[in-house]
Structure 1
Amino acid sequence: MKINFISTEDLKSISGGWNGTNSKIFEQLSKVFNLNYIGPVNPKSIASEKLFSKIKRILGLRGNFHFLSDKRLFHIKDIVSEQLDPLADYNFFFGQMVWTKCYFNKPYGVYLDACFPTYLSIYSSPESFDIKDVERIKTLEKEFLLNATNLFFGSYWALHEAEKHYSCKFHNAEIVWVGGNIPIPQVDAYEGGKDFLFISLNFEKKGGYICVEAFQKIKSAYPESTLTIIGQKPPASVLGINGIVYAGLLKKTNLKDFEKFKELLGKAFFLIHPTIMDTMGAVLIESGYYGCPSIVPKSFGIPEFVLDQVTGIVVDTPFNAEDFSQPLLDIIKDKKRYFSLRSEARKYTTSKLTWEVIGQKITDSVKATNLVK
């Protein structure tokens, strides 16, 4: 069976997050199918439309979503059309928003982590955009998703969000979740210690300040505690706090960085992740592979990846630093419970949230579709 695999991402980019997910799904599908990779398909916004939106904003009006304008979407369709393998039996789209004009009279599947209205509410400001333009995009996306042969959602939360926003049921949907972009170690190598981790490319939006404040409360009770920050460099005021270490960006494509990243996961006591901007969070899964439990908010799809009081701790929203520090202070005193969390975190992530498991789900569904067709 031949498949056109269509993506905005570069296959060589495997550092993690969305691009890492892209490469892992491609890797799994390529084990079973003959794939024609089309990507990265990511043309610039049309200059005149971008300028028009900017002028509207300057005038105090709502801007247009020029990145998803009809002209750009049709341009994307033309780019994809030129690279399609006409002998392919199926088209697989990684993501959905930019492909909403890409109808090619073939069965198609879509992997997505959030629908457009959800994306807009988490990563942008809906009130900043023209209402008619937003409705145009929503109409296009709803039609594209309903017409898909298969929808592969990264979480139940994402599916429920899409059904809520679009007032429909997506009977073509399947929950496949997401995996970690890191090899699974053979054993949990934790040797003790109170070394906490915070990992993020956006220090503020992923709750960096709450994490630091929570850590300071723990540090006052347990002076030997440390907090290692990986990702975006925090402000100097944070770096000067006793017990906090900045490890750097640590790119997985750099061997030295990658080894350091794995080393830190292996020795970590807990991952602190008080995010206010997320959809899934692969880092929670990667930590779980190493047996490191996470403390997270009851937001987005996160409670599907960290099971409260089973593989980690889930904090109700809204939350503050105390909501994160107190459960950690409690777990430090309860070693039996802590090691149960470690064991279950590793068991859950390595049995349910691996790319091999996810790839099998997707390939089985695509195979079944081909048999039906």
Structure 2
Amino acid sequence: MEVTGARRTAPRSVPLYPAPQHPAPLRLVGLDLEYIADYRRDFSRNSALYRALDEHVQVVGRMSPTLSPGQKFLNRLGQIHPNLSRWRRNAGFNPQLFQKRTVVAGEYLAARRGEYDVVLQTYLQFAPAPGTGGAPYGVYLDATFDMSRRHYPGDHPLPRAAMDRWMTLERETYHRAARLFPWSDFTARSLIEEYGCDPSRVVRVGAGTNLMAPSLDGKRYEEPVALFVGMDFDRKGGQDVLRAFQDVRARLPDAQLWIVGPRLPKAPPQPGVHWLGRIADREKLAELYSRARVFVMPSFEPWGHVFCEAMGHGLPCIALNRGPAAEIVQDRQTGLLVEQGDREQLGEALHCLLNDAALAERLGRAAYRRVQEQYTWAHVVQRLLPHLTAMARGE
């Protein structure tokens, strides 16, 4: 679930920022789809990345390529479909939109040519190449389209020709990039194996957590509570969790399952299951993390910010034994990994941690240390910096 904080705005472009109050020779421009006015003040999924970069380089500007009202209307009209859900998805993700955003990004970069050394783009739903004036760019991404269409086919109902066109645009953009910065080894393999990218330009750098307890002082593991956080309940394995929890509850009558994300319950009432709805207040979400004993979400994720958030509050995690989640959660060290769709194994994992507070605490505190050592934005920037510097030198 993406937790939102400050209200977002969607400027067509954002003026250059004043240089930070420390000498920094490397000048960086960021491109994204965050739609925030000021990364220093507003919350978004990756605004903290810019704040961490600001400690080491001059973030001289950033922008989200926004179409004019007329362009937006024509884009929606071009994707019209009798299925409203499909229309909505395709209107937000299609090759024509990719190209239109590319033009807007190119205009922004061309207008500021000579004022920056490198371009860093988060995700890939447009290309930064036009207008860069020769400045190298890198792409920071959680997943490729090939990964998404394999694992979430329902999220991408594009016609075959449109899919092929998107893949071509994506591949061309990757191949022109000076560096590719995947968050996971899983995504790195996709870039190399499915897109033919040069392995020497593919650098796994991870991602930081946006919600973490300053310490575990006062953290308790007495309550037998499992926490699930996810808007797309079914896709994120929510029904599997409900079925497995039924078995757990029969053995542990005091066990509870707290579900955050769906606005309305996705199943009939069930003993011990509490539907908490959508929680946008990050402090309230942090309180739930602090009270729970274990976090559970058995789904394939392109990364899994929510695992880092849970681990950042001292929770052991139950996750799938495949995909990027299996890189974040270490089996029997910071949580337990299970096979997708295996209700019995999922139930045993839940029972194991809900029935043994000492084990949950040992794994949970190890999970917290792992986030401290690996998954902060400061760590991500330390991995990025040498490559951004090399890019500026033309290497």
Per the normalisation by structure 1, the TM-score is 0.85
Hey, what's the Cα distance between the residues in 2 that align with 1:230 and 1:370?
A: 44
**Structure (1/2) with the larger helix percentage:** 1
Hey, what's the Cα distance between the residues in 2 that align with 1:47 and 1:37?
A: 28
Q: In structure 2, what is the equivalent of residue 21 of structure 1? A: 45
Hey, what's the Cα distance between the residues in 2 that align with 1:64 and 1:241?
A: 36
Quick check: 1:91–1:106 contact (8 Å CA) kept in 2? yes
Quick check: 2:293–2:360 contact (8 Å CA) kept in 1? no
**How big is each residue's C-alpha offset from its partner over 1:126-170, in whole Å with a ceiling of 9 and x where there is no partner?**
994333332222222112112211211110001112222224443
Hey, what's the Cα distance between the residues in 2 that align with 1:23 and 1:125?
A: 29
Shift in alpha-carbon separation, 1:355–1:247, aligned structure 2, 3 A:
same
Superposition deviation, residue 125 in structure 1: 4.3
Structure 2 counterparts to residues 1-373 of structure 1, below 5 A: 1-11=26-36, 20-43=44-67, 47=73, 50-54=76-80, 67-70=93-96, 72-84=97-109, 85-86=112-113, 87-99=115-127, 102=130, 104=132, 105-125=134-154, 128-187=157-216, 189-235=219-265, 237-238=267-268, 240-251=269-280, 257-276=281-300, 278-317=301-340, 319-372=341-394
Quick check: 2:221–2:360 contact (8 Å CA) kept in 1? no
Shift in alpha-carbon separation, 1:128–1:231, aligned structure 2, 3 A:
closer
SS in 2 for 1:144: helix
Hey, what's the Cα distance between the residues in 2 that align with 1:204 and 1:156?
A: 26
Quick check: 2:256–2:274 contact (8 Å CA) kept in 1? yes
Superposition deviation, residue 11 in structure 1: 2.9
Per the normalisation by structure 2, the TM-score is 0.81
Superposition deviation, residue 305 in structure 1: 0.7
Quick check: 1:229–1:248 contact (8 Å CA) kept in 2? yes
Q: Quick one: which amino acid aligns to residue 321 of structure 2?
A: K
Structure 2's unaligned 5+ residue stretches are 1-25
**How big is each residue's C-alpha offset from its partner over 1:42-87, in whole Å with a ceiling of 9 and x where there is no partner?**
43766556545546999xxxx98884334x4443233223333222
Q: Quick one: which amino acid aligns to residue 383 of structure 2?
A: K
Q: How many pairs are equivalent?
A: 356
Hey, what's the Cα distance between the residues in 2 that align with 1:56 and 1:248?
A: 30
SS in 1 for 2:146: helix
Aligned residues: percent identity?
22
- Bigger mean CA deviation after superposition, 283-292 or 224-233: 224-233
Q: In structure 2, what is the equivalent of residue 254 of structure 1? A: none
Hey, what's the Cα distance between the residues in 1 that align with 2:105 and 2:257?
A: 46
Shift in alpha-carbon separation, 1:344–1:127, aligned structure 2, 3 A:
closer
Q: In structure 1, what is the equivalent of residue 13 of structure 2? A: none
Hey, what's the Cα distance between the residues in 1 that align with 2:79 and 2:285?
A: 41
Quick check: 2:227–2:292 contact (8 Å CA) kept in 1? yes
Superposition deviation, residue 295 in structure 1: 0.5
Hey, what's the Cα distance between the residues in 2 that align with 1:286 and 1:301?
A: 15
Quick check: 1:13–1:20 contact (8 Å CA) kept in 2? no
- What is the root-mean-square deviation of aligned Cα atoms in Å? 2.9
Shift in alpha-carbon separation, 1:126–1:301, aligned structure 2, 3 A:
same
Structure 1's unaligned 5+ residue stretches are 252-256
SS in 2 for 1:21: coil
Superposition deviation, residue 94 in structure 1: 1.2
